[in-house]
Structure 1
Amino acid sequence: MGRIFSIFAALLAFLAPAVAQADPADIDAAARGVVRVVIIGNDDDEIFPVSHGTGFAVTQDLIVTNAHVVRDAMGDPDLRIGIVPSGGGDAVYGQLVAVNSRIDLALVRLTGSLRLPPLALAGRAIAKDARVVSVGYPMNVDRAQGLDLSDIFQSMSPVTSPGFVSGERPSRSFDTVLHTAPIARGNSGGPLVDSCGRVVGVNSFGADNEGGDAEFFFAVSNRELVPFLRANDVEPKINGNECRSLAELDDAERERLEREQMEALRDLAQRAEETRAKRERALLEAQLGVSQDREDRMALAFVLLLAAFAIGLWAWSRHERFDAEAEDAELRRRKINIAFGFAGFLVVVALLSFLTRPGLDEIDRRVAGAMQGDGGTETGNSPTTGTQGDAKLTCRLLPERSRITSAEAPDIEFEWTAEGCVNERTQYGYASGIWSRVFVPNSEDAVSVNSFDPDRRIFRSERYLLSRSAMNEARSARSEYSAPTCGADGAASKLGDLQGEVLSQLPKDPNERLVYQCEPAT
């Protein structure tokens, strides 16, 4: 029977529509802000754990968990709340800020600094059958590893359990997300996250599993969590972008580039055809014009020669009958000489008109002039729209080309120079044809790699959300060099080489990719 059921389940899995898998890097990034919440007792100055649950950061010093996780500490002043981080570091105590037992939520403020990265909340309703992951510290896993309550003060990575959303429904007088991502005692208060690591609910309780029924679990919906936080003056990080994988973005980017290349080829072919047609028209007009000019000049020369011949013939006939002793002989001699001179002048003009008639090379000159008359060239090239020189730019996010899981993405303004300087103080490195700058901050566990394409005016910021140990390694590599002064001789290529060590330590793919289109600032 069991074998038949397994075959049937496999068949269903094969026939079922494909569901996007959660990106492990995104789940790991979310897990950095998940903590173990321990209720601690004190006996003769010796502390001991009473119970534990899970919580997650909504700010660097505020933790969300279930109200029932901290219930014992609420009723007993001798009990305290301990917060144990997942990524290493000493545990700290927490103080209750707010509790709402009706919706099973509590807010705890840290008394020490753990530098926890806040988790982003999904800003859109989770779809039924969407893949989700529970993140937390189930007690059954601790027991299976041979751990007892005294061991829970150790920093350990939380357990992740995948499942699917079965629906959203009111339960126990508050909105919940019904799902199949397994939770157990100890998971209470932990986040239920989507495939991008964004919180869609706070795990709270499970359905009874008597008689071998299918197991279902309930998480407090964001529709309850967000008002609870805002009622306590906490504005959570909410991300309403569609959850897409980097593979999907890369495929879309390749399709977009191929489409742009095809459009560019079509535009080039169209411009070439337009140029060819324009050249043919110009050539025909030039041939007709030159031919007409040649004929006009030759006709003019012929007419002038005829006129010169006629005038010369008249003057010669008068010269033959010239009477030197006539009373008006001097006047007649002057007229004859003028006629001969004018005839000679007409011959010279006719000769010049014939000799200066347009040649065949005039056709090429007229064609070239016509092709340049509209401000274009025979190749149809258009002026560049890039930013090769200095420019003040305003860059706006392209959501369709970006993947944002937690970061805010406001517009960016900066001044770019041909030497790769931003705002005259931040030098970008140049390597493998890319302008980039690596930022390794001490204030958060995330490495940003910013790059700029001045030809296409595309600015990209890729963020790697690293574990504390990986972040320490990145900081160590960054401390090995000092960025050259902006605009110094060879600064771009030098920095491009220096950044290589940090880049080599980063994962293959970033967690977030923000793509901006830049335009000249107005």
Structure 2
Amino acid sequence: MTVFSRILVALAALGLIHFPASADPGDVDAAARGVVRVVLIDDSGGDAAPITHGSGFAVSPTMIVTNAHVIREALVDDTLKIGIVPSEGPGTDGGGTFAITVAVSPRNDLALLRITDGSLRLPPLTLAGGVDDSMSMGEVSAVGYPMNVDLAQGLEIRDIFRAQPPVKSRGFLSGERPSRQFDTILHTAPIARGNSGGPLLDGCGRVLGVNSFGADSNGSDAEFYFAVSLRELLPFLRENGVEPSVNALPCTSIDELNAAERARFDQQRAEAQARIEARAAELREKRDAAQLQAQIEILDARDNAMAAAMILLLLGIGAGYTAGQLRAGMGEKPENQTRAIIAAGVAGAALIGASLVWITRPSYSDIEERVAVLMGEVESPDTDAGGSQENTSGDGTLICTLVPERSRITGSRTNDVEFDWAANGCVNERTQYGMVNGEWTRVLVPSSEAAVSVSRYDPETRTYRTDRYLLSQKDMEAAREARGKYNPPACGVTDAARVLGEQQAALIAMLPDRPNERLVYSCESKKAGGIGGALGAAFDEEFGTEE
């Protein structure tokens, strides 16, 4: 490796430079679910016959964006109908549906269609929120239905009524420039006739533009292609009452998030180790000082006790001697009898006191006990053992705020959410968490949305993480079937969390290796108010409910 390469690797590791991330196939596949074939159909003869086709993509479950030139003929010929063939679903049995024109803007080659058949609902694509300088030379993907591929596969014109996955091609952004009186994005992802109206996607599967036309290469020059930019698309949609999902956050891969989490964990571990070592050093210094102080205090107390015992001993000896002398002279002076008794009592008390002081003098073993007191290791009798303690278990209603730098979001909402938590993982019969690989885990398999959410909660750090998998219709049917094979045990049942965890593990094993989205939240207890278990459904509303 050259010196220059080593420098680049080092800078990238430090986060000082950022290389454009490659498009994630899983994200492009997820976006492709909402890409459709737009077919012009001649219905004048009673037998519907396709005339030509282009591409389009959903911006709501029933609204589709395409190019104006794709449906131009249908606008001037009322015998032509606009057919919609999705990439999966109803089109698999040879059928499709129809759409009507909502709005057309020939100036910037945009058209908005509405599906007339209520049985078909498409997963909407998310718009990237614009292209900035950081996207220069970023990798992009074009998704659509090029006619040359159909011809190469030997498909007949009627075959386009069958649902088929769209074609994906990769290239790079080459800049933004106005062309044909509207704002376009220049790129190198190959497109052909039939791709018109399909989306140009970034690495996270978000729409950057609407593919429209290619540069004339004359068979020799490099191929460049143009897409209508979001500066044209967003106003067009909003003027026609469509508020699309827009996400302008940086496109970060799951691998980058995992690497950042590992680095974050290593940093936290290093910081914790440094704090432990600093605390240990501080305690050693404090203990050394306490040891010295305890030695001085105990030795002083010991010396004082020994001196007091010696004084009492001498006093006792002196009083005893005096009592003996007085008793010896009792015959000469009778009053000496009383004095002798008093002197004897003083002698006895002094000797007893000397013995007690000597016995109870501090010993060298008391030094360690005194050190413990000075170090605060012995509980103070003033401590209020019955005082109220803050509830740190995290039980109850929590308010969770998204942590963008730890998340990967391609289409989900980023607003705060609330949910209820119980220490045993069982809030109520409807909201339960199982224990999977040491983590509190809940799997949501909605009946309407084509996405599976795996949520994990860490009560110690109060971190809530949701991984979302955007699946094909076939994979969603398999996930729903697997979910239908088990029922969570009732709250309070022995090992309920373990049993539910084992049930969920089989479903989790069916999911792809990496999610399309990861939303990480930091949670805290709700201080005021409370509306009970109803808040437990907040995450269900955000990520879908099970049925």
Residue 239 of structure 1: which of 242, 247, 256 is its match?
A: 247
Residue 257 of structure 1: which of 242, 261, 265 is its match?
A: 265
Secondary structure of the residue aligned to 1:408 is coil
1:433-444 to 2 correspondences below 5 Å: 433-444=438-449
Unaligned segments of structure 2, at least 5 residues: 1-17, 381-388, 528-547
Pair 1:37-2:38 in alignment = yes
**Counterpart residue number, 1:189:** 197
- Structure 2: how far apart are the matches of 1:272 and 1:360? 26
Pair 1:297-2:311 in alignment = no
> Contact between 1:135 and 1:158, CA under 8 Å: does it hold in 2?
yes
> Contact between 1:98 and 1:106, CA under 8 Å: does it hold in 2?
yes
- Structure 2: how far apart are the matches of 1:487 and 1:459? 23
1:106-121 to 2 correspondences below 5 Å: 106-112=111-117, 113-121=119-127
Residue 123 of structure 1: which of 112, 129, 143 is its match?
A: 129
Shift of 1:373: 4.7
- Structure 1: how far apart are the matches of 2:463 and 2:122? 32
- Structure 2: how far apart are the matches of 1:424 and 1:61? 35
1:504-515 to 2 correspondences below 5 Å: 504-515=509-520
How has the CA–CA distance of structure 1 residues 473 and 206 changed in structure 2, closer, same or farther, with 3 Å as cutoff?
same
Pair 1:154-2:162 in alignment = yes
1:281-320 to 2 correspondences below 5 Å: 281-320=289-328
- Structure 2: how far apart are the matches of 1:451 and 1:224? 40
- Structure 2: how far apart are the matches of 1:386 and 1:249? 32
Unaligned segments of structure 1, at least 5 residues: 1-16, 377-383
Shift of 1:423: 5.7
**Counterpart residue number, 1:7:** none
Shift of 1:315: 4.2
Shift of 1:217: 1.0
Pair 1:344-2:345 in alignment = no
How has the CA–CA distance of structure 1 residues 489 and 201 changed in structure 2, closer, same or farther, with 3 Å as cutoff?
same
**Counterpart residue number, 1:53:** 54
Secondary structure of the residue aligned to 1:210 is coil
> Contact between 1:427 and 1:491, CA under 8 Å: does it hold in 2?
no
- Structure 1: how far apart are the matches of 2:413 and 2:19? 31
Q: Residues 291-335 of structure 1: CA distance to partner in whole angstroms, max 9, x if unpaired?
A: 1111110011111222333344444444444455x6xx44x5333
- Structure 1: how far apart are the matches of 2:29 and 2:203? 11
Q: TM-score, normalising length from structure 1? A: 0.90
Pair 1:405-2:406 in alignment = no
Secondary structure of the residue aligned to 2:509 is helix
Shift of 1:19: 4.6
Shift of 1:261: 1.6
> Contact between 1:385 and 1:456, CA under 8 Å: does it hold in 2?
no
Q: TM-score, normalising length from structure 2? A: 0.86
> Contact between 1:385 and 1:455, CA under 8 Å: does it hold in 2?
no
**Counterpart residue number, 1:84:** 85
Q: Which amino acid aligns with 1:184?
A: A
How has the CA–CA distance of structure 1 residues 69 and 240 changed in structure 2, closer, same or farther, with 3 Å as cutoff?
same
Residue 500 of structure 1: which of 505, 514, 528 is its match?
A: 505
Q: Residues 104-130 of structure 1: CA distance to partner in whole angstroms, max 9, x if unpaired?
A: 111111112322111011124242111
Q: Which amino acid aligns with 1:441?
A: P
Secondary structure of the residue aligned to 1:96 is strand
Q: Which amino acid aligns with 2:49?
A: F
Q: Residues 130-152 of structure 1: CA distance to partner in whole angstroms, max 9, x if unpaired?
A: 11111001111111111232221
How has the CA–CA distance of structure 1 residues 374 and 28 changed in structure 2, closer, same or farther, with 3 Å as cutoff?
farther
Q: Residues 243-294 of structure 1: CA distance to partner in whole angstroms, max 9, x if unpaired?
A: 1111111111111111122122222222222222222222222222211111
Residue 366 of structure 1: which of 367, 370, 389 is its match?
A: 370
How has the CA–CA distance of structure 1 residues 422 and 219 changed in structure 2, closer, same or farther, with 3 Å as cutoff?
farther
**Counterpart residue number, 1:64:** 65
How has the CA–CA distance of structure 1 residues 374 and 414 changed in structure 2, closer, same or farther, with 3 Å as cutoff?
farther
Shift of 1:411: 1.9
Shift of 1:510: 0.8
- Structure 1: how far apart are the matches of 2:77 and 2:490? 59
How has the CA–CA distance of structure 1 residues 375 and 269 changed in structure 2, closer, same or farther, with 3 Å as cutoff?
farther
Pair 1:415-2:420 in alignment = yes
Q: Which amino acid aligns with 2:124?
A: P
Shift of 1:520: 2.4
Residue 143 of structure 2: which of 135, 160, 165 is its match?
A: 135
> Contact between 1:40 and 1:50, CA under 8 Å: does it hold in 2?
yes
Shift of 1:389: 6.6
Pair 1:484-2:489 in alignment = yes
- Structure 2: how far apart are the matches of 1:336 and 1:206? 131
Shift of 1:481: 1.4
> Contact between 2:326 and 2:339, CA under 8 Å: does it hold in 1?
no
Q: Which shifted more, 137-146 or 406-415?
A: 406-415
Shift of 1:428: 1.0
The root-mean-square deviation of aligned C-alpha atoms, in Å, is 2.2
- Structure 2: how far apart are the matches of 1:423 and 1:239? 34
**Counterpart residue number, 1:12:** none
Pair 1:208-2:212 in alignment = no
How has the CA–CA distance of structure 1 residues 423 and 272 changed in structure 2, closer, same or farther, with 3 Å as cutoff?
farther
Q: Which amino acid aligns with 1:269?
A: E
Q: Residues 468-489 of structure 1: CA distance to partner in whole angstroms, max 9, x if unpaired?
A: 1111111111111122223333
How has the CA–CA distance of structure 1 residues 386 and 433 changed in structure 2, closer, same or farther, with 3 Å as cutoff?
farther
**Counterpart residue number, 1:98:** 103
Q: Residues 215-262 of structure 1: CA distance to partner in whole angstroms, max 9, x if unpaired?
A: 211111111111111111211111111111111111111111111221
Secondary structure of the residue aligned to 1:114 is coil
- Structure 2: how far apart are the matches of 1:375 and 1:449? 45
Secondary structure of the residue aligned to 1:99 is strand
